[in-house]
Amino acid sequence: MTGSERSGLPQGTAGWAKALLTQQLPALARTAQGISECAGDEDTSGTDLAALILRDAGMTTRVLRLASSRLHNPHGQRIRTVSRAVALLGFDVVREIALGIAVLDVLGGRHAGCAQAAAEAARALRTAVQARALAESAGIDAPEEVFIAALLQDLGHLAFWSVVPQWLPAWRQDAAQPPLQAAQRVRTDIGLDLDDLSFVLNAALRLSPLLAGDADAPGRIAATFARRWVDALEPGGRRDDFDTALAEAAEAFGLDAATLREQVAAQARQGDTLVDELFDPAVRALLPVPRRLDEPGQDGAAAPARADAALGLDVLRDLAELQASGRPDPGVALSMVMEGLQRAAGFDRVAFALLSPDRTELRLRSALAAHRQPLAAPFPMPLRDCGRLLELLAQPRVQHLGATTPDTGRWLHRLGAREALLGPLVVDGRVLGLLHADRAVSGEAIDHDARTLFALLLQQANLALGHVK
């Protein structure tokens, strides 16, 4: 980021807090405080809460949809009014639903045009679901208050990314990263610690009594453990971090670790359900997809990527036979290449993109992704946003991109990867596009064997494209 870009931004934690408190957060504060003020006499609070929700037609619709979902209404009772929702589910449940929707609307990127804002909101919702379940298992009073505290504990992250389209338009269309990686980017590029910002904003707004109170309160501790679990299950998260946090939580609250693990897996599914219910499909497609504890072959982390030399030879042999057939199908050959990169070379995500006819943008033609992790990038991608990418592709060799590669870090960031291999797709000496492969899910380094197999399969892809008329 240039000095002139920095100069136009708020400065330091205090500067960002002031800007957010005056521009972005008042709407959330009014809504959240209104919801909180409804608490009182049970009959009155329910009526007041229903009236508050009914002021906003969009919130009303989504509250009713969530109240009727299996997440909150497993018996399938008919709910068509907010008053009925309060009567059946209870004031506290409807309050947490309403507050979750308010956070999403104001800070979650629903209308902000920033994938990272949506990713932060999804993290907050998943954390809140885990925290409430932990509070219930541990016998902590008012688990709904724990839900709200967990939802808002990273308010600085939510608020910062909600204003990125305004303050940092160059970041607007970047693909979402796991929140810890995104926070490091903010710390490195503009010198702002989002955790510090969260503390200042929560102290100023006092939206959660639990966050404003004792840091060692059981509810606060539960919210912290829940966030550690959610972060460890993000793409690139570490199994060791998850296992450590799980063991510490079990010891802190006197729970059985194996039972708690099962609970976390079940609540992860509940969190996914909540995100699916609250986010538009177009927004969900841009989010990093957390790993599941109960998926085959996964135990809190993606299985390490490993190249399979024997399978690689089989794929190369099949491709050679296809080429020798006299009438090879380019589509079949490219599919075999991509499958070979994923299964034999051990890459988590593989993408095949072509240049537009006017050579101004890259268009995604095909992609494969392991572990439910999408290739979340804003395709078609203008070449002007890709630095020296086209210049690098003009070189007849595989490019191994990393964080220190000049002018290509933006490509990695937009695709949510720390490193990747890129290879030019060339026909008659003209670059038509690229082949991309990374291990963004497992976090494993790309080794020599994987690079070698990538180069051989890239050669086969170019041979296949040579048959396209």
* pLDDT (tens digit per residue) in 293-330: 654 434 444 444 556 778 888 888 888 888 887 766 78
Note whether 322 and 271 are same-domain residues.
no
The 10s digit of each residue's pLDDT in 4-49 is 455 678 889 999 999 988 877 887 778 777 776 776 555 556 788 8
Q: What is the CATH number of the domain that holds 385?
A: 3.30.450.40
The mean pLDDT of 49-55, rounded to a whole number, is 83
**Parent domain of 175:** 3-284
- Residue 381, strand partner residues: 362
- Tokens 């595989």 locate to 398
**Cα–Cα distance, 322 to 316 (Å, whole number):** 10
Residue 290 lies in a domain: no
pLDDT at res. 139: 94
The DSSP call for residue 207 is -
Residue 298 lies in a domain: no
Nearest to 253 by CA among 74, 380, 133: 133
The 10s digit of each residue's pLDDT in 119-171 is 888 899 899 999 999 999 999 988 888 998 999 999 999 989 888 878 888 77
Note whether 77 and 205 are same-domain residues.
yes
Note whether 272 and 319 are same-domain residues.
no
pLDDT at res. 414: 73
Dump the DSSP string for 233-302: TSTT--HHHHHHHHHHHHHHHT--HHHHHHHHHHHHHHHHHHHHHHS-HHHHTTSPPPP-TTSTT-SSSP
Provide the token pair at 382.
């203008």
Provide the token pair at 53.
């929700």
Note whether 275 and 325 are same-domain residues.
no
The 10s digit of each residue's pLDDT in 202-256 is 888 888 888 888 888 999 999 999 999 999 988 777 878 899 999 999 999 999 9
Note whether 384 and 261 are same-domain residues.
no
Residue 396 lies in a domain: yes
pLDDT at res. 90: 84
The 10s digit of each residue's pLDDT in 350-384 is 888 899 999 888 888 888 876 545 555 567 888 87
Residue 246 lies in a domain: yes
Note whether 106 and 250 are same-domain residues.
yes
CA 406 to chain centre: 26
Residue 292 lies in a domain: no
Note whether 325 and 408 are same-domain residues.
yes
The 10s digit of each residue's pLDDT in 68-115 is 877 777 777 778 888 888 888 888 888 888 888 887 777 765 545 677
The structural domain count of the chain equals 2
Q: Which residue has the higher pLDDT, 108 or 433?
A: 433
Residue 291 lies in a domain: no
Last residue within a domain, chosen from 284, 300, 323: 284
**Cα–Cα distance, 124 to 104 (Å, whole number):** 10
For residues 151 and 127, the answer to whether their CB atoms sit within 8 Å is yes
Note whether 359 and 211 are same-domain residues.
no
Note whether 217 and 362 are same-domain residues.
no
pLDDT at res. 325: 77
Residue 79 lies in a domain: yes
Note whether 270 and 342 are same-domain residues.
no
Note whether 69 and 116 are same-domain residues.
yes
Q: For the chain, what is the mean pLDDT? A: 81
The mean pLDDT of 271-286, rounded to a whole number, is 72
Note whether 98 and 232 are same-domain residues.
yes
Nearest to 229 by CA among 247, 212, 254: 247
Q: What is the CATH number of the domain that holds 81?
A: 1.10.3210.10
Residue 300 lies in a domain: no
